[in-house]
A and B are shown apart, each in its own frame.
Chain A
């Protein structure tokens, strides 16, 4: 709830502080503007429709840079305003509590479906485990095959090496025989 302004101007009255582009009329004049103006032009109080009863001491306090003490009426009005704010918040809290309770109730009503979902999850987990097992088996088989092939390659390499040596020996023997025949 907006606070009631301390100062309101009469219809037709305009406060235009010098050196600014601001105009104040009716109820849109802040306290500091009103009191600074009245500090310079106290006779202009007749332009105000409402003002605090202690406006003169407020004006003096503002001139001296002091903050004027709030009056009992102002404090009461502020307490009333804060009570209104608290009441509004209470209503809001109550509304949110109802919403939370409703959401909880809905969640509980929907809990029966969790069993089917859990079963499905378990099935999927078992499928995943089987698939992983299959994959591991395939990996092992592939590994064994690779090893066997590698072994074959090694054997073939050894055979090639042996045959190469035999060929070299045969070539040497043939060369010796040829040389002897030429003698």
Chain B
């Protein structure tokens, strides 16, 4: 059986677009999914690009959760960075979320769960790219995002006494994974159905 030798070589010119230049920042709404709620058997990537996830489904009765952060720079601190390794370099992806609430329901249903669970985070880039495939980016799909910092500073000007949460995925082989199926409209419809969730009839 032949062995698969990874051949890491550039395959595309490097230049920005003059007509559609890169724009920094994210939109105000993101989506958090419990890592174990994903139907991994149904996960499918594009044939021509394994960095594009075409099909991301949830198990019966499960749903995704919207994360809305207001302001001009939501999810500040969200980033991906190279992490050097012994045999292969990988990426550390960081999702920064602000929870502008600190009541008992939030503590029970959100903070306590984020503190110990594993998650996948989908966010919307302001820069969509020429074919809109850049729009929705996924962190945590390979290793899962886990909390590395959670702070509830009562006099914080940033959070107004809410929670600042940092979730991190370490050891991710890919620099970027994007959710895109056929068109941006189809992709948005898929995200909405993730948030609605199935009725759990199976």
Contacts and interface: CB of A to CB of B under 8 A. Distances in A.
B118 interface: no
A26 B196 contact: yes
A151 interface: no
A125 interface: no
A25 B193 contact: yes
Contact of B181 (A9, A11, A14, A27): A14
**Most chain B Cβ neighbours within 10 Å, of A9, A13, A27, A47:** A13
B20 interface: no
Interface residues of A, number: 16
A28 to B, nearest CB: 10
B99 to A, nearest CB: 24
Interface residues of B, number: 29
Given A46-B42, A47-B42, A47-B57, A10 B189 contact: no
A145 B192 CA distance: 98
B64 interface: yes
25 contacts: A8-B198, A8-B199, A9-B198, A10-B42, A10-B59, A11-B57, A11-B58, A11-B64, A11-B196, A12-B39, A12-B55, A12-B191, A12-B193, A13-B190, A14-B189, A14-B190, A16-B183, A23-B185, A23-B186, A23-B189, A25-B193, A46-B41, A46-B42, A47-B55, A50-B201
